[in-house]
Structure 1
Amino acid sequence: MIKPEFTDVVIKKSDTGFYQNYSVPIALGSKSIIIALALWALLWPESTNNLLGSIKWSLLENFNAFYIILFGLFSCFLIFIALVPSIGKRVMGLPGDKPEFSTFSWFSMMFGAGLGVGLMVFSTAEPLGLWASNPAILAQEVEANTAEALLPTYRYTFAHYGFHTWGVFVIVGLALAYCSYTRGMPLTLRSTLAPLIGKYANGVLGHIVDILGVVATILAVSTTIGFGVSQLIDGIYTITGIEWIMNISGDIPTPSNAGLIAGLALIMILSIVSAVSGVGRGVKYLSNLNLILSIFLLLIFVFFGSFFFAMTTYGTAFVDYILHYISLSFNAYLPMNESQYLDLIPESAKAFSSELFANSTNAWGSYQSFLSSLSDNAAALDESTLKQAYIAGNEGRQFAWQAGWTTFYWAWMVAYAPFVGLFLARISKGRTIREFILGCVIAPSLVCFAWMTILGATAIDLELSGVADGSIIDASNTNKLFITLGYLLEGEFLALVNIMCVILVLTFLITSADSGILVMNTIMSGGDQDAGIKHRIVWGAILTAVIGTLLLAAGDNNPMEALRNAMIIGALPFAMILGLMMIAMCKAMYVDSLLLKQEIKQEK
């Protein structure tokens, strides 16, 4: 006789006071960590930035293979359960439950709360960045910024915005929706581990899981808003020419701290207003507006951009992406040290081994940049020796690139997963597991691919043809989109489209922030989806403080650095929880299948 698993997850809440209907340990634990981080950044900004940077790179070096393989396993797991008929057709809910939202609203909310800000910021920046540096370029298979480099450029662009990224969101969303709507547990993170930890989900262990989820969400949303605010200020400057919002002292104009803080204040005020109105009103309407404006922007690139070039790129790149899917999922590089490098270079180069090692393992360096970075004595070595020295550093270059780019993305997506996953679960009650996986992995990935090729390939085509003459490449990441539009349009129409892009960035930012506030509120209230307007306001204020202090801690040169570093550090503990979550789902679905068979036998 197979017995049902433990599902009696109970989260003790306060009966009175400010935290009425909230879990005090979760609320105070998560707020204490986040407020301490904000105060540290405010009081000791330089030491905060330096220490966060040191810890971040250490984690990327030591957990690179862990992240790559973990995401590969997530992808395989989702493919398996979607294909198994008995699992795929299960409804995330009780018999007779129907979806709460229409397919259009469901998809628009998913899209806006998922990668909307990232797609605006990196639509041109990601392909152009990878066009200059990717594993194929580092291995000297193709030359940077050439037509031949286009295919590997989009292979890794698709990897960063495709099935792996949406898969990690769906792991969390599926586990939450299944445990909550099918098994009747609270819509909170600890419920997803109940198949493994049983009654311990009701104690300290459960509190830790929820607190880590809240902290990861805060840091992920902060990083996303940081990138988005920067693009918002770039757009406002393009339209208005207001100088105080920009730092124009360097070679490339970038948003000033004053501009970033002003933009942040605007976004967070509007986000709190939207969050107070709830999912069914503010978030839903803004998400629908996001999708409509996104389609309009896409059509502008279709009619005025390099559409045929983009679609050709889409087709060839998608086939290439599928052919390399297994290697993208599981091919993890290991760090390389100088002693390993020393064994691979010619004897005549060993006197300069430290210099050659540092430059040949630079993840952003082509062979030409390697040569140009050497001192006169090292550069005087014969060409054959220099080529061997560069080739010897290939493993180190590949590792540094993967750790600094792909693994950075995976850490960002892990930190984003409790936020997006819980939000996806919140809007997906009544849908089947197969529908959920296809709708939240395949469909948005294909849209992301189209977005990145239509916008990104247009920018690349402008550079390949010589029209842009390096101006898009040289622009800041958050300004590349506006520079590209400047080559496609002119006059009042260009001004109108720039205004539309600023509105689109703003609404994406508001959607991301208010969705994050609602999700954190849901976790703290033990799965209650309608509790606490005052707490939504408090979390909005805390989120604003964290972003503002970390932006200021990094200084004018790279204001996003401290945010990125904090996010990567906060993501690692939750990455381990995600692995356990996948195992717990395997067990839960297997046990439920056995129980169903047992019930059928008993009825007969």
Structure 2
Amino acid sequence: MTEKSAEALNSDDWPIDPPLVELSIQTHDRGFYDGFSREVSIPAKIIVSMIIMWAIFFPVAAMDTLEVANSTIISSFSGWYVYLVAALVVVCLVLAILPQSGRLRIGAPDEKPEFSRFSWISMLFGAGIGIGMLTYSTGEPLSHFANNPDIIRGAVEARTAEAISSAYIWTFLHWGFGAWCTYALVGLAIGYVSHRRGLPLTIRSSLAPLFGKSMSGVFGHAVDVVAVVATILGVAVTMGLGVEQFIVGLYRVGMGDWLVQADGTASTAAIVVALIVLVGASTISALSGVGRGIKWLSNINMVLSFALLALFLVVGSGLYGLELLGMGIWGYIVTLPAHSLTLFSGGTEMGDALVQWQLDWSVFYWAWWIAFAPFVGMFIARISRGRTIREYVIGVALVPALMCFVWMALVGGTAIDLELSGVAQGAIFDANISDQLFATLAVMLGSDLALIVSGLVVILLMTYLITSADSAILIVNTINGAGEDEGGRRYHILFWGFALAFVVGSMLILGGIDAIRITMIIGALPFSIVVVAMAVSIIKAVVYDLIRNHHGVPCTAEACETWDGKVTPAE
């Protein structure tokens, strides 16, 4: 039912209005921006271009500014990030657990999912945090094994068997429900109104239940611009981690000493070459669309990931890793409420150390997930049509989190076991975080077999990098195109591919991954406000639809089209 026909009906006949099923977003109808919203595309391109030029032409001033921001702005908003992520976990779990909301479908009541469960979960995992997981599967458990809040407080001694439990509790906290419920909330807010009410598949549509038609104007444009910038910065962190590890992997398999510097980090030449190859491949993949390139690359990612996990299970410390998995999950669940709401305060030497640890780890992660959420949320919304809210939340929040836990336990557990037993003799501990996975393989397998497996890891990294960049480019164009992901996008795909490469490259060369991390945390702040509004909006949308169902008022676009204005209250 269109708005005009709705006005022809007597609204006194029903106790609650049908939902908004039309949201007009003006797009250009000719020229370079044909099919795009210039009010979103142009400001987003200008902002990202200014960030690139700032880093390239004023590197000293840029680094000074980032250092000031790191010590002032970021610490001031640490509590905001901590409490926001905790609230998002609660909202997602409540929507899934309640019987009434859990069975609502993201789409028409009888709609079937577009993708099989295997392909769906593969795409969730591959386009979510696959790259970061490869870097941190050894790096984070080892780091927390050497330093975490319990060690800082003196409760346990660093690098001892007693420190393992707390190391995994904090690791799972960062890669568990906090990450995936952030993605799930954003994806649900977008997908619910887009697939159920026929609104455009874009960030601003998620706020339509809250702000109505005003999202067609300047406010809606601003929301989408913030989402585009946050997406580029969030993906830049992931790409930065992946590119460094990819280069170190190429060095490990004998591709030349020019790839790394004396301190073990990637050289400038290697960063430039790697970005040309990886972003070039992802741009080509993006031109093929979500149904082809991303789907097949995601399936390849999943197969290679399972093969690598099987290797660690059989050849590595498999039984020990499974023991750590059970111990870590139990500890994570028991401490989840307390740790999710913990905000350390300074003033003493111990307090300052705890605050710095939280800024370096938890706050970084929460900002990363929030900045990554428009990209992953849009992508999840695109591929999740036809699933119930309960199935959606379980699939998005639970399954990938468990996969991350298994990965961290088997891979990180093997690294810890090799160090505790004395076999590694510090070879893994002393390696750069980007090299610790390869160092683990070298100790575990020996030089010849490690060379082969390291080559497979490099391929896995490459497919993860291409998938993430590919997905990000398509999602950015979808936001700029008012929710449309088809049609002539070639030149805009090329622009965002180059932009992503320049953001990653300039920041890596400027100050390494720390420069990207600080820029991303600041860039995530504006979108974090949008996320709060999205949480309120999806709650309102679900509650109102339940009321509409009770009173017999239609709540989907298809039902509104054929509705005659009569209500048939539910029993």
Query: Match of 1:570, as an amino acid?
Result: G
Comparing 529-538 with 310-319, greater Cα deviation is found at 529-538
> RMSD across aligned C-alpha pairs, in angstroms?
1.3
Is 1:582 matched with 2:535? yes
Partner of 1:524: 480
Counterpart-to-counterpart distance in 1, 2:219 and 2:145: 45
Aligned length: 542
1:294-322, CA deviations, whole angstroms, 9 ceiling, x for partnerless residues? Answer: 00100110111111111111111111111
Partner of 1:353: none
Of residues 101, 108, 132, the one that matches 1:94 is: 108
Structure 1 residue 241 displacement after superposition = 4.9
Counterpart-to-counterpart distance in 2, 1:155 and 1:324: 8
Partner of 1:313: 324
Comparing 193-202 with 316-325, greater Cα deviation is found at 193-202
Partner of 1:292: 303
Of residues 130, 135, 139, the one that matches 2:144 is: 130
| C-alpha contact 1:60 1:404 (8 A) present in aligned 2 | no
Partner of 1:301: 312
Of residues 394, 399, 404, the one that matches 1:443 is: 399
| C-alpha contact 2:202 2:478 (8 A) present in aligned 1 | yes
Identity of counterpart residues, as a percentage? 41
Counterpart-to-counterpart distance in 1, 2:255 and 2:22: 59
Of residues 154, 172, 183, the one that matches 2:186 is: 172
1:16-39, CA deviations, whole angstroms, 9 ceiling, x for partnerless residues? Answer: 100000000100010000001101
Partner of 2:279: 268
Counterpart-to-counterpart distance in 2, 1:597 and 1:152: 48
Partner of 1:256: 267
1:471 aligned counterpart, secondary structure = coil
| C-alpha contact 1:155 1:320 (8 A) present in aligned 2 | yes
Structure 1 residue 7 displacement after superposition = 4.2
Counterpart-to-counterpart distance in 1, 2:235 and 2:150: 32
1:240 aligned counterpart, secondary structure = coil
| C-alpha contact 1:293 1:504 (8 A) present in aligned 2 | yes
Query: Match of 1:135, as an amino acid?
Result: P
1:129-180, CA deviations, whole angstroms, 9 ceiling, x for partnerless residues? Answer: 1111111111111011110000000001000111110010001100111010
1:54-97, CA deviations, whole angstroms, 9 ceiling, x for partnerless residues? Answer: 21332321111111111111111111111111111111011332
Give the alignment of 1:408-557 within 5 angstroms: 408-531=364-487, 532-554=489-511
Query: Match of 2:288, as an amino acid?
Result: S
1:264-317, CA deviations, whole angstroms, 9 ceiling, x for partnerless residues? Answer: 111011000110011111111111000000001001101111111111111111
Change (3 A) 1:122 1:323: same
Query: Match of 2:568, as an amino acid?
Result: E
Give the alignment of 1:79-478 within 5 angstroms: 79-248=93-262, 250=263, 253-334=264-345, 336-337=346-347, 341=348, 360=349, 394-478=350-434
2:393 aligned counterpart, secondary structure = helix
Counterpart-to-counterpart distance in 2, 1:544 and 1:429: 31
Structure 1 gaps, min length 5: 342-359, 361-393
| C-alpha contact 1:7 1:194 (8 A) present in aligned 2 | no
Structure 1 residue 491 displacement after superposition = 4.8
Partner of 1:603: 568
1:602 aligned counterpart, secondary structure = coil
1:324 aligned counterpart, secondary structure = helix
1:412-454, CA deviations, whole angstroms, 9 ceiling, x for partnerless residues? Answer: 1100000001000111111111010000111111110000000
| C-alpha contact 2:55 2:507 (8 A) present in aligned 1 | yes
Structure 1 residue 405 displacement after superposition = 1.1
1:286 aligned counterpart, secondary structure = helix
2:385 aligned counterpart, secondary structure = coil
Query: Match of 2:392, as an amino acid?
Result: F
Structure 1 residue 113 displacement after superposition = 0.2
Of residues 497, 510, 522, the one that matches 1:569 is: 522
| C-alpha contact 1:65 1:333 (8 A) present in aligned 2 | no
Structure 1 residue 561 displacement after superposition = 2.0
1:338-371, CA deviations, whole angstroms, 9 ceiling, x for partnerless residues? Answer: xxx4xxxxxxxxxxxxxxxxxx2xxxxxxxxxxx
Counterpart-to-counterpart distance in 2, 1:53 and 1:6: 46
Comparing 473-482 with 401-410, greater Cα deviation is found at 401-410
2:567 aligned counterpart, secondary structure = helix
Counterpart-to-counterpart distance in 2, 1:595 and 1:200: 23
